[in-house]
Structure 1
Amino acid sequence: MKTWFHSWRAAIRIARRDAWRSKGRSALVLAMIALPILGVSALDLTYRSSELSPAERADRMIGAADARFKDPGFAGVPVFQDPVGEMNTPAKDYRDTTWPSGPADVTKTFPAGATVLKDTLGTAKLTTVHGLLSTEVRELKASDPAARGIMPLLEGRYPEKNDEVMATSHFLEASGLTIGSTVSARNFDRPYRIVGSYELPDALETDQVNLLPGAFLDAYAKVAEKAGLTSPGASTTYLVSASGGFTWNMVKELNAKGVVVTSRAVLFDPPDRSEVPLFQKEGWGGFEASAGATAADLAAVGTVVGLAMLEICLLAGPAFAVGARRSRRQLGLVGANGGARSHIRAIVLSGGLVIGVAAAVIGNVLALILTKALQPVLEETMGQRFGAFDIRPLEILAIAAVAVLTGVLAAIVPAVTASRQTVLASLTGRRGVRRSSRVLPLVGLGALLIGGAIALFGSLYSQQFIVVAGGSAIAELGVVAMTPALVGLFGRTGRWLPLSPRLALRDAVRNRGRTAPAVAAVLAAVAGTVAVSTFMASREAQNRADYEAQLPHGTVAAFVQEEGGRDVPAVREALQRYVPVDVRADVERVAVGKPGCQPWDSLPGCGRYEVVVPKANECPLYVSLPGGADPSEKYTPDQRRKLLTDDWRCKSSSSGGMYVSDGGLLVGDAKLLKVLGVDDPATVKALADGKIVSFNRTQVDKNGTIGIKQITDIAAADKASEQGRPAPGKVSSLPAYQVPGDPKTYGVQALMTPATAKAAGLGTAPLGAYASTDRLPDTEARQKLEGELTKLGSNVEMHIEEGFVNENSMILLALAIFAGLVTIGAAGIATGLAQADAEADLKTLAAVGAPPRVRRTLSGFQCGVVAAMGVILGSAAGVLPAMGLRLTEAREQLAFHEKSIAEGWTADLTPPYVPIVIPWETLAGLLVAVPLGAALLAALVTRSRGALARREAT
């Protein structure tokens, strides 16, 4: 025991001294191990710190109160909820009957003696320095002790008067206002002075203002209703404090009264899953992660960590071999003085141990410092504040153990190789005869075949991606194990190369112990990059083929439906100013009710319209039934399929595109036809003659007219819809012209002029504009346009049709750069090892008259050869898993498509398009640019003249 301890202590001291002497190499290996450790530790610290304790979660949700009571809007019927109170549904099954809807009287459910604090939330457009900003308006007495923790005060004070307001820091930043400024709402002249700023710890990017209860929302709602404008849409919850709190049984009793409760006691001590009625109800049992999903996540994490360790070992192993090679004389002296092979292995392994421990300490310490220092930045990025800065010692130690294990594993092969050197060879600098292992390539071949078979099985017979990914990982490890043999095969190409690259290739093949790990490291990095690039390029091709344009190419459309379209003229002017407009078509929508009503409003005096589809033109699959039952269930799959293929009423005629209005009906002129590319003269003439131009034949009845129903009683219409009856309302019949053929109109199904609408007694409201362009607006013009529209404060729906845009191009470029850096790094390490081995050869070349630049040239070709071999093998290995994953996706989509056909849900017999696309540009960059760049970089950093050699002792 004493001998073992002292020998390892001496080995560690020697390793520490060598690491300090070779600072550059030690720093390189330390960085390779420490950087991933830093990232994993920082991620662990961030994740654990962002996890809230029950007390922290309760403070942010309900403050210091015992519970928050909320009306779920089911008219007071019994409900089921989850323990947190985020999910709820009626306890009764209303599948075939009308769902309950309406308010419940929450105030009647408060326990006797409870203290209640009202919390009301609405929205309004508030004035800012730049224009208007849609903002949450919260009426809650924030200074009340029950609200402590919900909205922590940052500066200033809480509101104390009805004309005072405090705002979130994000609102102040976005609006340009400060404490002391005044703010008001659109169409509401009452000013409010900002007296403080606060934040919502769970939603830092929320634009919100806080006032005292009753200071804004009620008065603003009355003004909005009188002017026919948008209501603030307020919703109210109650913070309730009661002696003893609210247990889970009490929560269930309140659920029976139709109230949803978030209880502090339940947050601290949640019930078992079996005690939650919501999770026992059909369709609600799968909202918590299953053990299988957790196991799959752990397996995925384990796989990623294992591959990362393998990559580091492959990169760091040659670096340790460089150190062992440069220290071979010292190791020879250890053997000459009676040291055993185990002592030499211990010295080299101690190098890995020392570097691993240093990397673990430095990585974890830097992670702690950076995470703490960057905590505000991380919180802003995540959009929420941390809880306590949570350090889990066991997890940090586990991460540190991974670093130490990685360092030791990386030093194993160099340690075994160094221990096999004879004392004479070590002292004289001779390398001796080296033989590659004959077993390792066979093991690698077996792993390649087994992994390939698993991946093939997964892509052809299984629907689990993990099978393909696991098989591909095994096959890749097999290729890594076969790398020494594959390097030998590359040596046969040397006969066709010039002198310098031939010497570099021969040297790489003769010294496979140092070449193979570097090639394998490059292989692994490139294989992952090529696999992801191939998969993403294939997905891009599929998305490009599936892309459906919303408008004709180069067309810009902007709609505003709020407040009766009062901002539409400003939107049209902004389009004309910042977009290179060719033709602009202004459009309106049919409006029912008083001015300012929106299509979705249910306020008194507001209504909506419907384009009446004659009963003879209704597709039987889509006819409304009482209770919301699915009418298609009445038909067999064959009948459904026959209706979809043979019945013109069931064929889609919406032509895709943007949602423009109910029934696809717009009010405009012939300019819109020109923008949409409809150039039929008869269509233009019919529009000018006062007819409705229809692009959907199901809307035109046998008399050649289209019916437009004006619905003024929204409640009666909703009730009729629930009962499967037509909504009551006045129907106006207008003459129509059916456009021949099936032109693509991008969501527009019918068009009439303002004069036609006025003659029919239909009210209209401005909606927006379409604009065809000479060219697409550039980035500067788009920014100016969006800035101008933002100032309006309205919700402007704008779309610029520029065709399919690949959103993954930057990701592919980043992957290629990452693979290039890893490749150059690995090749550089191999080159350093080659120079350590090739000193004698270089001296011989110099002795026979070779010029000094030979050293630089040979170094560059050595680096380039290693990079080229790794890139070629990695490119071949990376394409296979991507193909397997795409084949699995193709099988899944084809199975779904065939099932849809068999069940009669689709009449499209065209199989799904799931291509496999090789990213040739990425491959070309890796195959050409990376080896060339590695060679040039190695040549530039290599000295032309070597140091004078010390005369060996004889």
Structure 2
Amino acid sequence: MNRWYHSWVAAVRIARRDAWRFKGRSSLVLAMIALPILGVSAADVTLRSAELSTEQKMERGLGAADARMSDPGMGGVPILQTPDGVSSAPAKDYGEGVWPEGRGDIRAAFPAGAKTLKDSNGSGKLRTGHGLLNTVIHELDASDPMTRGMMTLEEGRFPDKAGEVAATTHFLEAGGLKVGSTVTARGLDTEYRIVGSYELPDALKTDEVLAPPGTFLAPLDKALKADDLPGTETSSTYLVSVGGDGFTWNMVKKANSQGITVISRAVALNPPADSEVPLYQKDGWSNYQQSAASEAAALAVVATVVGLAMLEICLLAGPAFAVGARRSARQLGLVGANGGDRRHIRAIVLSGGLVIGVAAAVVGTVLGLLLTFALRPLLEDYMGQRFGSFDVRPLELLGIGLLAVLTGLLAAIVPAITSSRQSVLASLTGRRGVRRSSRVLPVIGLIAAGLGITITLYGATATDNVAVVAGGSALAELGIVALTPALVGLFGRLGGWLPLSPRLALRDAVRNRGRTAPAVAAVLAAVAGTVAVATYTASDDVQQRAAYEARLPHGVVTVLNGEGGGRDVPAIRAAVQKHFPVDVRADVDRIVVGNAGCAPYSDAKGCGRYEIFTPKDNRCALWAEGTPGSKELTPAERRKLSKDWRCEENGQYAEYDVLVADEKLLSVLAVDDPAAFSALKSGKAVSFDRRNVEKGQVGIKLITDTDQADLMAQKGKDAPGEIKSFPVHQAPRSATAYGVKVILPAPAAKAAGLITAPVGAYFSTEELPSSTQQQKLEAALDALGTDGGLYVEKGYTGDNSVVLLALAIFAGLVTIGAAGIATGLAQTDAEPDLKTLAAVGAPPRVRRTLSGFQCGVVAAMGVALGSAAGVLPAIGLRLTEERQQLKWYEEALDAGMGGVNDAPYVPIVVPWETLAALLVAVPVGAALLAALVTRSRTAVARRAAG
């Protein structure tokens, strides 16, 4: 025992001195291990600091109150809730019946003697220094002690009287305002002075204004006053303070019996057992059990990422230890000559990994803590919330540090075994002898690669389990890693056709496979992951582009605004015409049912609605299923009906399915049907949905009593109303009006006695409006006091191009780094060869050229193998998705859902641009960088005595 201890102490001392002697190589290995530790430790501290404790969550949500009581809108019937108050359901199961809705009496549920404070929220558009900004309106008496901790005052004070408001710092920044500025609400004339700024610790990027109760928002149970903000819905909760033991679980259940939900501090800090929660005992309630599965999945992802990171570090650090052991071969030989055996040699090399690992753990952890502390404001701003505290957990950081030590030891295992097997004579003389590559490892790699490919294809074509595809892909990649030494040997056969420098670089890489293969494998691993994600992302982008349904033709602009009976529409049309490069302008009107001033879809007294009448013979039987008197359809019947023309749905939506306009609208909508132009000019309507046409006529039903109409719809009957019929031209199926189903000419609408009102216009543009033009138009619309309902069809815009660029840059950096490490080790390992070249008269540039090609060769081999390996998992995942979507498609057909006429389109697209950048730019860049940083001259050393 004592002898073992002293031998390891001596080994560690030798390794420490060796690491200090060769500072450059030691720093390189330390940096490779410390960088991931820095990232993981910084991430751990960040996540733990951002993870609020229960008490901190309650303080931010409840302030100093004991509970928050709210009405879930279930009509006051008894309910059941989860302990956290997030989920609730009626205590009674209403099944297929009418579920309760409406307001409950929250005041009746207050505990006796409790102190309460109303907390109201709404939203509205406030005028700022730049225009109109949609803002959260928060009405609360901030001077009440119960609000302490909910908001953090930054400047000034909270409002305490009428005419004063406070605003979040984000609102002030976005609106170009400051404390002391005034703000007004759209629709109100009153000005309010901003007396303070504050922030919401859980939502730093929220645009919010805090005002005393009754400033903007109308109570739910009272009529709208002249000084209330119009067009906003108010939601109110109550902060409650009861004292004593707080708001207990029994008090929560009592409030539930009166239809009120409660978030309680006491219950959150001391939650009841699941057996004491009535909601959890209800049949079919299993949502609360899903957290364990999600946590397990998250842990599996973290374990996978950590494992891959360790593998890549070992692949990169292993050659460094091997070169270090080779440079110290004479010293290790002296240990053997003085009586040391193989285990002492292994202990010295492993101690090198231990020393570097411990140093990397300390350096990485300390730098991670300092980096997190320094970047805390930026991290909080990025996440949009303040940390609860700077939470440092020593045991977790110790575990991360042990990971660094373990990585260092794993990276040194193979060099330790190799060094211990070398004879003392070979170590002292520096002769490497004849080294044969393993014949077993390529066989194992070939078997693993074949088995992994088989598992991946099986998982993609025969199962819906993504884990099978991921596991098979990982096994195939590990198999290719094991095959890397043999594949490097195959690359060496290309040297006969290369010039001198690249031929020397390639032969050096092949001759020193123990150094080259791990670096190539590390590049392979990085590039394979990048190519897999890039292939999947590019394929998904093509799928999303094909599935994108444009609301309008590309470059077409619409403004639709029905406020005030369309009084602002002429000015809005002129503003668009002035600021945008308009080609054709098509003015459109809407149909008004009832009073001429009725807003669209208004349920006010005297207002109604219209609908396009669909003849009974043209109605889809699927839509009638489930209504009184209809028969139950079989899956085969539903599948058949889903293909029926009467059940077709194109998925396009327009705010108004009937527009009153002329033939200019057809031009803007790119409808290429000369007969439709002729029809509108002659006073006939144009229909784009053949289900609405019968005997050359289309009907529009005017429904004046909306309450009666809704009641009839619930019973599955047609709502009563007068039907106005119009002669119509049915456009061909190839023509689309982007959700508009009928276009009525104005003379026909007037002749039928329809009331119309201006609603906006459609514009075709000569070119897509620029951002500057759109900002100017928004300012002009703001000057008119309206947002105009502006929409510009810009076509499909995906973010995947940015993702692909980022992936290519990431893979390039990792590849250049790994290739650079391998090149540095090659230069260290091949220093005698380079000195020999200089001794025989090789030009100085040969050294620089050789270094560049050594780096480029490693990068090229790794990128080529990684590109081939990375396509496999992407193909597997896409095939799995195709199976899942086909399954859903078949289920949709059996259910008789409309709009499922086309089978799912799941393409597999290889991002050739990304692959070209990796295959060409990265190796060339690595080679040029290595050549630039390499010295062209070196001292010629005398040959050492044998």
TM-score interval, smaller chain? over 0.9
Measure the CA separation in 2 of the matches of 1:173 and 1:546: 38
Offset, 1:313: 0.9
**Which residue is 2:858 aligned to?**
866
Matches within 5 A, 1:244-259: 244-259=245-260
Measure the CA separation in 1 of the matches of 2:175 and 2:606: 34
Q: Residue 624 of structure 1 contacts residue 724 of structure 1 at CA under 8 Å; is this kept in 2?
A: no
Measure the CA separation in 2 of the matches of 1:892 and 1:205: 38
Measure the CA separation in 1 of the matches of 2:659 and 2:396: 62
**Which residue is 2:128 aligned to?**
128
Measure the CA separation in 1 of the matches of 2:781 and 2:421: 75
**Which residue is 2:449 aligned to?**
448
Alpha carbons of 1:709 and 1:132: their partners in 2 closer, same or farther (altered >3 Å)? Answer: same
Offset, 1:473: 0.6
**Which residue is 2:686 aligned to?**
693
Offset, 1:128: 1.3
Measure the CA separation in 2 of the matches of 1:909 and 1:210: 51
**Which residue is 2:172 aligned to?**
172
Q: Residue 203 of structure 1 contacts residue 384 of structure 1 at CA under 8 Å; is this kept in 2?
A: yes
2:633 corresponds, among 632, 635, 646, to 635
2:767 corresponds, among 775, 799, 821, to 775
Give CA-to-partner distance per residue, 1:200-245, whole Å, 9 cap, x none.
2222222222222223323999997779994321122111222443
Structure 1 segments unaligned to the other structure (5+ residues) = none
Matches within 5 A, 1:740-751: 740-751=732-743
Measure the CA separation in 1 of the matches of 2:498 and 2:835: 23
Q: If the length of structure 1 is used for normalisation, what is the TM-score?
A: 0.92
Give CA-to-partner distance per residue, 1:7-54, whole Å, 9 cap, x none.
333333333333334333333322222222222222222222222222
Q: Residue 131 of structure 1 contacts residue 792 of structure 1 at CA under 8 Å; is this kept in 2?
A: no
Q: Does 1:929 align with 2:924?
A: no
Give CA-to-partner distance per residue, 1:334-393, whole Å, 9 cap, x none.
334443333333332222222222222222222222222222222222222221222222
Q: Does 1:659 align with 2:639?
A: no
**Which residue is 2:142 aligned to?**
142
Q: Residue 496 of structure 2 contacts residue 503 of structure 2 at CA under 8 Å; is this kept in 1?
A: yes
Measure the CA separation in 1 of the matches of 2:690 and 2:336: 95
Alpha carbons of 1:266 and 1:720: their partners in 2 closer, same or farther (altered >3 Å)? Answer: farther
Task: Give the SS at the match of 1:217.
Answer: coil
Partner AA of 2:303 in structure 1: G
Measure the CA separation in 1 of the matches of 2:631 and 2:394: 58
Measure the CA separation in 1 of the matches of 2:99 and 2:751: 40
**Which residue is 2:531 aligned to?**
530
Partner AA of 1:638 in structure 2: A
Q: Does 1:676 align with 2:669?
A: yes
Task: Give the SS at the match of 1:524.
Answer: helix
Measure the CA separation in 1 of the matches of 2:8 and 2:572: 78
Offset, 1:177: 1.9
**Which residue is 1:718 aligned to?**
710
Alpha carbons of 1:190 and 1:729: their partners in 2 closer, same or farther (altered >3 Å)? Answer: farther
Offset, 1:803: 3.6
Measure the CA separation in 2 of the matches of 1:793 and 1:44: 49
Offset, 1:4: 3.2
Matches within 5 A, 1:402-417: 402-417=403-418
Measure the CA separation in 2 of the matches of 1:63 and 1:175: 28
Q: Residue 500 of structure 1 contacts residue 858 of structure 1 at CA under 8 Å; is this kept in 2?
A: yes
Give CA-to-partner distance per residue, 1:565-606, whole Å, 9 cap, x none.
666556544533443221122333334466776535545565
Q: Which moved more, 1:910-919 or 1:384-393?
A: 910-919
Measure the CA separation in 2 of the matches of 1:198 and 1:437: 68
Measure the CA separation in 2 of the matches of 1:754 and 1:91: 55
Task: Give the SS at the match of 1:92.
Answer: coil
Alpha carbons of 1:738 and 1:703: their partners in 2 closer, same or farther (altered >3 Å)? Answer: closer
Q: Residue 710 of structure 1 contacts residue 731 of structure 1 at CA under 8 Å; is this kept in 2?
A: no
Q: Does 1:801 align with 2:793?
A: yes
Measure the CA separation in 1 of the matches of 2:53 and 2:783: 41
Q: Does 1:423 align with 2:424?
A: yes
**Which residue is 2:469 aligned to?**
468
Q: Residue 216 of structure 2 contacts residue 227 of structure 2 at CA under 8 Å; is this kept in 1?
A: no
Offset, 1:799: 4.1
Give CA-to-partner distance per residue, 1:224-279, whole Å, 9 cap, x none.
77799943211221112224432223222222211111112221122333443434
Measure the CA separation in 2 of the matches of 1:797 and 1:633: 43
Alpha carbons of 1:322 and 1:926: their partners in 2 closer, same or farther (altered >3 Å)? Answer: same
Q: Residue 229 of structure 1 contacts residue 597 of structure 1 at CA under 8 Å; is this kept in 2?
A: no
1:824 corresponds, among 816, 838, 842, to 816
Measure the CA separation in 1 of the matches of 2:719 and 2:550: 34
Matches within 5 A, 1:136-535: 136-218=136-218, 230-243=230-243, 244-281=245-282, 284-535=285-536
Offset, 1:791: 7.5
Q: Residue 706 of structure 1 contacts residue 735 of structure 1 at CA under 8 Å; is this kept in 2?
A: no
Alpha carbons of 1:177 and 1:907: their partners in 2 closer, same or farther (altered >3 Å)? Answer: closer
Alpha carbons of 1:297 and 1:932: their partners in 2 closer, same or farther (altered >3 Å)? Answer: same
Alpha carbons of 1:784 and 1:304: their partners in 2 closer, same or farther (altered >3 Å)? Answer: farther
Task: Give the SS at the match of 2:6.
Answer: helix
**Which residue is 1:111 aligned to?**
111
Task: Give the SS at the match of 2:190.
Answer: strand
Partner AA of 1:495 in structure 2: G
Offset, 1:676: 0.9
What's the RMSD between the two structures over aligned residues?
A: 3.0
Offset, 1:118: 1.2
Give CA-to-partner distance per residue, 1:299-355, whole Å, 9 cap, x none.
222111111110111112122223233333333333344433333333322222222
**Which residue is 1:892 aligned to?**
884
Partner AA of 1:738 in structure 2: Q
Measure the CA separation in 2 of the matches of 1:788 and 1:429: 82
Q: Which moved more, 1:323-332 or 1:258-267?
A: 323-332
Partner AA of 1:698 in structure 2: R
Task: Give the SS at the match of 1:189.
Answer: coil
Q: Does 1:841 align with 2:833?
A: yes
Structure 2 segments unaligned to the other structure (5+ residues) = none
Alpha carbons of 1:283 and 1:770: their partners in 2 closer, same or farther (altered >3 Å)? Answer: farther
Alpha carbons of 1:907 and 1:331: their partners in 2 closer, same or farther (altered >3 Å)? Answer: same
Measure the CA separation in 2 of the matches of 1:728 and 1:658: 25
Measure the CA separation in 2 of the matches of 1:690 and 1:783: 39
Measure the CA separation in 2 of the matches of 1:574 and 1:12: 80
Q: Residue 524 of structure 1 contacts residue 874 of structure 1 at CA under 8 Å; is this kept in 2?
A: yes
Offset, 1:689: 4.5
Alpha carbons of 1:571 and 1:90: their partners in 2 closer, same or farther (altered >3 Å)? Answer: farther
Partner AA of 1:896 in structure 2: W
Measure the CA separation in 2 of the matches of 1:825 and 1:309: 16
Measure the CA separation in 1 of the matches of 2:791 and 2:285: 37
Partner AA of 1:659 in structure 2: A
Partner AA of 1:850 in structure 2: A
Q: Residue 34 of structure 2 contacts residue 364 of structure 2 at CA under 8 Å; is this kept in 1?
A: yes
Alpha carbons of 1:394 and 1:833: their partners in 2 closer, same or farther (altered >3 Å)? Answer: same
Q: Residue 187 of structure 2 contacts residue 230 of structure 2 at CA under 8 Å; is this kept in 1?
A: no
Task: Give the SS at the match of 2:799.
Answer: coil
2:701 corresponds, among 695, 705, 708, to 708
Matches within 5 A, 1:518-597: 518-560=519-561, 568-569=569-570, 571-592=572-593
Q: Which moved more, 1:34-43 or 1:460-469?
A: 34-43
Partner AA of 1:640 in structure 2: R
Offset, 1:468: 0.7
Measure the CA separation in 2 of the matches of 1:269 and 1:668: 65
2:908 corresponds, among 916, 923, 942, to 916
Q: Does 1:938 align with 2:930?
A: yes
Partner AA of 2:323 in structure 1: V
Give CA-to-partner distance per residue, 1:93-150, whole Å, 9 cap, x none.
3342223222112111212211111112222222211122222222211110112222
Offset, 1:470: 0.9
Q: Which moved more, 1:617-626 or 1:206-215?
A: 617-626
Measure the CA separation in 1 of the matches of 2:144 and 2:450: 70
Partner AA of 2:837 in structure 1: L
Measure the CA separation in 1 of the matches of 2:336 and 2:579: 81
Measure the CA separation in 2 of the matches of 1:432 and 1:745: 80
